Amino acid sequence: MTRSVLCCPKCKRPVEARDFLSNPAMVGFLDSVLPTFSCRCGYRGFPIKLSLKDYGKWVGKPRKGSNRMKKPGFSIAHMHKPTVELVGKTDHKTLAVWAIDCVERVLPYFEEKYPEDHRPRNAITTLRTWIKTGLFRMTDIRGAALASHAAAREVNEDNAARSAARAAGQAVATAHVPTHSIAAANYALQAIYRATTSDAAISKERDWQYQHLLDLRKTKEKWVGKPTKPARR
């Protein structure tokens, strides 16, 4: 199976669920239907699919003819090229475990602020169930993902708690599309950035994510159900 990323045909930015103008509930779940979306670059229309190999060529590549100054802060659209390439070589369930481990390091940002809201945690539990049983039910996966993203929307501000809930929603969708694991890891990085505003913290966590995926690939028999240490700072 060739793994792909939905991107804007003009600027090659990955398309997020909130960008779509129609059928938002189906984003990331239908390979044959591509709803229209609106991109930050001004493009409005259908996205394109790029293989991870082709998309990796665009990661970190300057936009042609662009003289804009580099914007400060963390960008969810930026993807670590070595990680993207490693994901393309990794099996489906290992990526699901990796997504869980990345998210669980930041999930306390949400759970400590909203202790009665279990939707992001339920998303992680749903993914764990799929890893252990191999039984895929689209209604369960979609429902858990949408519930976690709903929890993120209800935060009503761009903070670490919202990013953590987004990360959980992307993680559970990994059961259907493996490349959602990349989005889960990136939203985890965003949570850390919003909590710390530290480039050093982001760099440290990104290095951990890459090394952890390498480790999981070597020790697959040990990873199911293994707890991870929170990345709180």
Residue 230 has what pLDDT?
53
Residue 141 has what pLDDT?
95
* One-letter-per-residue 3-state SS of 129-177: HHHHHCCCCHHHHHHHHHHHHHHHHHCCCCCHHHHHHHHHHHHHHHHCC
Q: Measured between alpha carbons, how far is 185 from 8 in angstroms, rounded to an integer?
A: 21
- What is the average per-residue pLDDT within 5-10? 76
Q: How confident is the model at residue 7 (pLDDT cuts 50, 70, 90)?
A: confident
- What is the average per-residue pLDDT within 129-141? 93
Contact of 5 with 56, CB cutoff 8 Å: no
| pTM, rounded to two decimals | 0.68
Percent of the chain having pLDDT more than 70?
72
Residue 124 has what pLDDT?
97
Residue with the bigger pLDDT between 11 and 158: it is: 158
Contact of 152 with 138, CB cutoff 8 Å: no
Percent of the chain having pLDDT more than 90?
56
Residue 56 has what pLDDT?
60
Query: Phi and psi of 123, rounded to 5°?
Result: -65, -45
Which H/E stretch holds residue 7?
A: strand 4-7
Other C-beta atoms lying within 10 Å of the C-beta of residue 216: 20
Other C-beta atoms lying within 10 Å of the C-beta of residue 6: 22
Instruction: Match 């475990």 to its residue by tokens.
Output: 97
Structure tokens that stand for 43 in this block: 């493009």
